[in-house]
């Protein structure tokens, strides 16, 4: 799968429009998405040759009945109890995929924490702050956006907490 880069700017998805509109510097990384891939995050890691701890997946969960976005490294999984605690909730479960798609405006495997149709509470795994840049979905399968963790936090009004587990 070919690696293509496009520097700072570029429209096309609500995620890139949001980042551009906020004046955030970012790099887009496109790759050929395999429709048969079972893990979108791992596919991005393989295609781009990145560290799976620096590439983050966007998951939508329900915390006490409210949809909440969790952004965790591809290398691990989401700790639902930690997510609930991070937003002051008691219980968390993965959201229905159709509800996640409808609310965010993105399709599964292309859900970005940026530019969602309805802004949801967002928690970014604390490990992200240890990197100069992180990769998250840019709003469609086969497209990642690389940006500074501080910019991701600012654009999503995210809180950071240790919500990922190995």
Give me the pLDDT at residue 158, please: 97
d(CA 87, CA 159): 8
Range of the domain at 45: 4-165
What's the pLDDT tens digit per position in 27-80? 999 998 888 887 888 999 999 999 999 999 999 999 999 999 999 999 999 999
In the sheet where 143-147 sits, what is the strand order?
Answer: 4-7, 27-30, 143-147, 134-140
- Strand residues in 64-154 grouped as ranges (E): 66-73, 77-78, 92-94, 122-125, 134-140, 143-147
Predicted local confidence at residue 56, as pLDDT: 97
Nearest to 108 by CA among 98, 116, 119: 98
Which of 32-41, 71-80, 115-124, 133-142 bottoms out in mean pLDDT, i.e. has the lowest? 32-41
Domain count, the chain: 1
Cβ–Cβ < 8 Å for 114, 105:
no
User: Tell me, what CATH number does 42's domain have?
Assistant: 3.90.960.10
Q: Which helix (H) or strand (E) holds 5?
A: strand 4-7
Can you give the pLDDT at residue 34?
A: 85
Dist. CA 137–CA 47, nearest whole Å: 13
Global pTM reads 0.91
Cα 146 to chain centroid distance, Å, stands at: 11
Q: 45 φ, ψ to 5°?
A: -60, -50
Print burial letters for 49-79: b (CB count within 10 Å at least 16), e (below 16).
Answer: ebebbbbbbbbbbbbeeebbbbbbbbbbebb
Round the CA-based radius of gyration of the chain to a whole number and report it.
14
């Amino acid at each position: 799968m070919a690696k293509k880069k496009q520097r700072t700017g570029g429209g096309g998805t609500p995620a890139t429009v949001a980042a551009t509109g906020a004046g955030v510097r970012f790099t887009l990384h496109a790759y050929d998405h395999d429709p048969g891939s079972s893990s979108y995050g791992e596919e991005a890691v393989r295609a781009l040759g990145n560290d799976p701890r620096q590439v983050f997946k966007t998951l939508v969960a329900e915390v006490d009945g409210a949809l909440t976005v969790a952004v965790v490294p591809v290398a691990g999984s989401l700790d639902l109890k930690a997510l609930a605690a991070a937003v002051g909730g008691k219980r968390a479960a993965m959201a229905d995929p159709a509800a996640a798609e409808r609310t965010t405006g993105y399709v599964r495997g292309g859900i970005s924490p940026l530019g969602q149709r309805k802004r949801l509470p967002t928690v970014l795994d604390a490990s992200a702050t240890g990197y100069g840049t992180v990769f998250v979905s840019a709003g469609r399968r086969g497209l990642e956006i690389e940006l500074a963790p501080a910019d991701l936090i600012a654009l999503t009004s995210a809180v950071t907490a240790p919500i990922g587990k190995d």
